[in-house]
Amino acid sequence: MMSGKKSRLLPRLLAVLFLAGCQTAIETQDVSSPDFRLSPRLAVEITPANMEFEHQRTQARRTGKALSPDGPVEGEIIELPKYVVTEKGFVKFGFSVVTNTEVKHGGRIKWMRVGLVIPGSPAARNNLDPWDTILAIDRVIVTDLDREGMLQALFQKHSGDGLTLHILSRRRGLFPTIVRLTDKAR
Protein backbone atom coordinates (compact mmCIF):
# COMPACT_ATOMS: atom_id res chain seq x y z
CA MET A 1 0.00 0.00 0.00
CA MET A 2 1.28 3.48 -0.82
CA SER A 3 1.87 6.08 1.84
CA GLY A 4 -0.40 9.14 1.89
CA LYS A 5 2.23 11.43 0.37
CA LYS A 6 3.04 9.03 -2.46
CA SER A 7 -0.64 8.46 -3.26
CA ARG A 8 -1.19 12.24 -3.54
CA LEU A 9 1.74 12.53 -5.93
CA LEU A 10 0.68 9.69 -8.24
CA PRO A 11 -1.99 11.57 -10.27
CA ARG A 12 0.33 14.57 -10.68
CA LEU A 13 3.29 12.40 -11.67
CA LEU A 14 1.22 10.43 -14.18
CA ALA A 15 -0.18 13.60 -15.72
CA VAL A 16 3.27 15.20 -15.98
CA LEU A 17 4.71 12.07 -17.57
CA PHE A 18 1.78 11.80 -19.95
CA LEU A 19 1.83 15.45 -20.94
CA ALA A 20 5.58 15.17 -21.55
CA GLY A 21 4.97 12.21 -23.87
CA CYS A 22 6.52 9.61 -21.57
CA GLN A 23 5.07 6.18 -20.84
CA THR A 24 5.36 4.35 -17.55
CA ALA A 25 3.96 1.20 -15.96
CA ILE A 26 2.18 1.73 -12.65
CA GLU A 27 0.42 -0.19 -9.93
CA THR A 28 -3.19 0.83 -9.49
CA GLN A 29 -5.97 -0.01 -7.08
CA ASP A 30 -8.84 -1.77 -8.82
CA VAL A 31 -11.81 0.56 -8.33
CA SER A 32 -14.16 -2.17 -9.54
CA SER A 33 -13.13 -4.36 -6.61
CA PRO A 34 -15.82 -4.93 -3.97
CA ASP A 35 -13.24 -3.80 -1.40
CA PHE A 36 -12.90 -0.33 -2.98
CA ARG A 37 -15.02 2.27 -1.18
CA LEU A 38 -14.92 6.02 -0.68
CA SER A 39 -16.03 7.50 2.58
CA PRO A 40 -18.84 10.07 2.14
CA ARG A 41 -16.61 12.50 4.02
CA LEU A 42 -13.84 12.14 1.43
CA ALA A 43 -15.71 12.91 -1.78
CA VAL A 44 -18.19 15.30 -3.32
CA GLU A 45 -20.00 14.79 -6.62
CA ILE A 46 -20.53 17.76 -8.87
CA THR A 47 -23.53 17.07 -11.09
CA PRO A 48 -25.60 19.00 -13.59
CA ALA A 49 -28.81 20.63 -12.41
CA ASN A 50 -30.65 18.97 -15.27
CA MET A 51 -33.98 17.22 -15.11
CA GLU A 52 -32.98 14.49 -17.59
CA PHE A 53 -29.90 13.68 -15.50
CA GLU A 54 -31.97 13.62 -12.28
CA HIS A 55 -34.59 11.36 -13.92
CA GLN A 56 -31.89 8.90 -15.02
CA ARG A 57 -30.34 8.95 -11.53
CA THR A 58 -33.77 8.19 -9.98
CA GLN A 59 -34.40 5.36 -12.47
CA ALA A 60 -30.98 3.87 -11.69
CA ARG A 61 -31.77 3.91 -7.96
CA ARG A 62 -35.19 2.27 -8.47
CA THR A 63 -33.97 -0.48 -10.76
CA GLY A 64 -30.60 -1.02 -9.07
CA LYS A 65 -28.90 -0.67 -12.46
CA ALA A 66 -25.91 1.54 -13.16
CA LEU A 67 -26.21 4.25 -15.80
CA SER A 68 -23.08 2.72 -17.31
CA PRO A 69 -22.76 -1.09 -17.43
CA ASP A 70 -19.19 -0.86 -16.11
CA GLY A 71 -19.84 1.64 -13.32
CA PRO A 72 -21.46 1.74 -9.90
CA VAL A 73 -24.97 2.99 -9.23
CA GLU A 74 -24.44 6.41 -7.67
CA GLY A 75 -25.98 6.83 -4.24
CA GLU A 76 -26.22 3.12 -3.48
CA ILE A 77 -22.63 1.92 -3.60
CA ILE A 78 -20.67 5.08 -2.94
CA GLU A 79 -23.27 7.29 -1.22
CA LEU A 80 -21.65 10.60 -2.08
CA PRO A 81 -23.08 13.85 -0.74
CA LYS A 82 -24.45 16.10 -3.51
CA TYR A 83 -23.11 19.46 -4.62
CA VAL A 84 -25.11 20.69 -7.57
CA VAL A 85 -23.88 23.39 -9.93
CA THR A 86 -26.06 25.00 -12.56
CA GLU A 87 -23.36 25.87 -15.10
CA LYS A 88 -23.76 24.39 -18.56
CA GLY A 89 -20.60 22.27 -18.86
CA PHE A 90 -21.85 18.94 -17.60
CA VAL A 91 -25.16 19.27 -19.39
CA LYS A 92 -23.26 19.77 -22.67
CA PHE A 93 -20.78 16.93 -22.21
CA GLY A 94 -22.99 14.53 -20.22
CA PHE A 95 -21.00 13.57 -17.14
CA SER A 96 -20.39 14.57 -13.54
CA VAL A 97 -17.12 14.55 -11.63
CA VAL A 98 -16.29 13.31 -8.15
CA THR A 99 -13.52 14.96 -6.17
CA ASN A 100 -12.33 15.61 -2.60
CA THR A 101 -14.71 17.58 -0.34
CA GLU A 102 -12.27 20.44 0.22
CA VAL A 103 -13.08 21.57 -3.33
CA LYS A 104 -16.65 22.38 -2.23
CA HIS A 105 -15.23 24.97 0.17
CA GLY A 106 -12.66 26.44 -2.23
CA GLY A 107 -9.81 24.00 -1.55
CA ARG A 108 -7.45 22.52 -4.11
CA ILE A 109 -8.26 19.38 -6.03
CA LYS A 110 -6.36 16.33 -4.78
CA TRP A 111 -8.00 13.83 -7.15
CA MET A 112 -10.84 13.76 -9.66
CA ARG A 113 -12.85 10.95 -11.21
CA VAL A 114 -15.74 10.72 -13.63
CA GLY A 115 -19.02 10.34 -11.71
CA LEU A 116 -22.12 9.45 -13.72
CA VAL A 117 -22.23 9.35 -17.51
CA ILE A 118 -25.49 10.11 -19.32
CA PRO A 119 -26.24 7.49 -22.01
CA GLY A 120 -26.00 8.94 -25.53
CA SER A 121 -24.04 12.00 -24.34
CA PRO A 122 -20.68 13.08 -25.80
CA ALA A 123 -19.00 11.47 -22.77
CA ALA A 124 -20.79 8.15 -23.40
CA ARG A 125 -20.06 8.27 -27.14
CA ASN A 126 -16.36 8.61 -26.29
CA ASN A 127 -16.46 5.64 -23.88
CA LEU A 128 -15.94 7.66 -20.71
CA ASP A 129 -16.78 5.42 -17.75
CA PRO A 130 -17.69 6.10 -14.12
CA TRP A 131 -14.54 6.04 -11.98
CA ASP A 132 -12.16 6.88 -14.84
CA THR A 133 -9.45 9.00 -13.19
CA ILE A 134 -9.13 12.49 -14.69
CA LEU A 135 -5.48 13.57 -14.72
CA ALA A 136 -5.76 16.81 -16.69
CA ILE A 137 -8.41 19.09 -18.20
CA ASP A 138 -7.33 20.86 -21.39
CA ARG A 139 -3.67 20.06 -20.55
CA VAL A 140 -3.92 21.52 -17.01
CA ILE A 141 -3.14 18.96 -14.31
CA VAL A 142 -6.17 18.68 -12.00
CA THR A 143 -4.07 18.96 -8.83
CA ASP A 144 -3.05 22.45 -10.04
CA LEU A 145 -6.72 23.51 -9.95
CA ASP A 146 -8.92 24.80 -7.18
CA ARG A 147 -12.73 24.92 -7.35
CA GLU A 148 -12.84 28.09 -9.44
CA GLY A 149 -10.20 26.81 -11.85
CA MET A 150 -12.06 23.54 -12.28
CA LEU A 151 -15.40 25.31 -12.84
CA GLN A 152 -13.75 27.62 -15.36
CA ALA A 153 -12.08 24.74 -17.22
CA LEU A 154 -15.34 22.79 -17.44
CA PHE A 155 -17.98 25.53 -17.72
CA GLN A 156 -16.42 28.46 -19.59
CA LYS A 157 -17.32 26.80 -22.85
CA HIS A 158 -19.43 28.08 -25.72
CA SER A 159 -21.50 25.96 -28.07
CA GLY A 160 -19.17 23.90 -30.23
CA ASP A 161 -16.20 24.25 -27.87
CA GLY A 162 -14.42 21.03 -27.08
CA LEU A 163 -13.01 19.62 -23.88
CA THR A 164 -9.86 17.51 -23.71
CA LEU A 165 -9.44 15.13 -20.77
CA HIS A 166 -6.34 13.09 -19.96
CA ILE A 167 -7.64 10.02 -18.16
CA LEU A 168 -6.68 6.67 -16.70
CA SER A 169 -9.38 4.18 -17.59
CA ARG A 170 -9.97 0.55 -16.61
CA ARG A 171 -11.28 -0.03 -20.11
CA ARG A 172 -8.17 1.41 -21.79
CA GLY A 173 -5.49 -0.12 -19.56
CA LEU A 174 -2.68 1.31 -17.46
CA PHE A 175 -1.53 4.12 -19.74
CA PRO A 176 -3.22 7.54 -19.75
CA THR A 177 -5.28 8.37 -22.82
CA ILE A 178 -6.73 11.53 -24.32
CA VAL A 179 -10.50 11.91 -24.67
CA ARG A 180 -11.79 14.88 -26.67
CA LEU A 181 -15.42 15.83 -26.10
CA THR A 182 -17.58 18.27 -28.02
CA ASP A 183 -21.25 19.10 -27.53
CA LYS A 184 -21.96 18.73 -31.26
CA ALA A 185 -23.43 15.44 -32.49
CA ARG A 186 -21.19 13.29 -34.67
Residue 111's region, left for phi above 0, alpha for psi from -120 to 50, else beta, is beta
Domains identified in the chain, total number: 1
Look at residue 31 and tell me if it is in a domain: no
Look at residue 26 and tell me if it is in a domain: no
Look at residue 6 and tell me if it is in a domain: no
The CATH code of the domain that includes 66 is 2.30.42.10
Nearest Cα residue to 117 out of 180, 36, 56, 61: 56
3-class SS of residue 68: coil
pTM over 0.75: no
Look at residue 28 and tell me if it is in a domain: no
Nearest Cα residue to 50 out of 84, 98, 97: 84
**How many angstroms separate the CA atoms of 81 and 11, rounded?**
23
What are the pLDDT digits (tens) for 68-116? 444 444 443 333 444 444 334 456 788 888 888 888 777 888 889 888 8
Strands 44-48 and 82-85: parallel
Give the mean model confidence (pLDDT) for residues 149-154: 82
Look at residue 114 and tell me if it is in a domain: yes
Distance of CA 134 to the CA centre of its chain: 6
Segments forming the whole domain that contains residue 103? 39-182
Look at residue 74 and tell me if it is in a domain: yes
Look at residue 54 and tell me if it is in a domain: yes
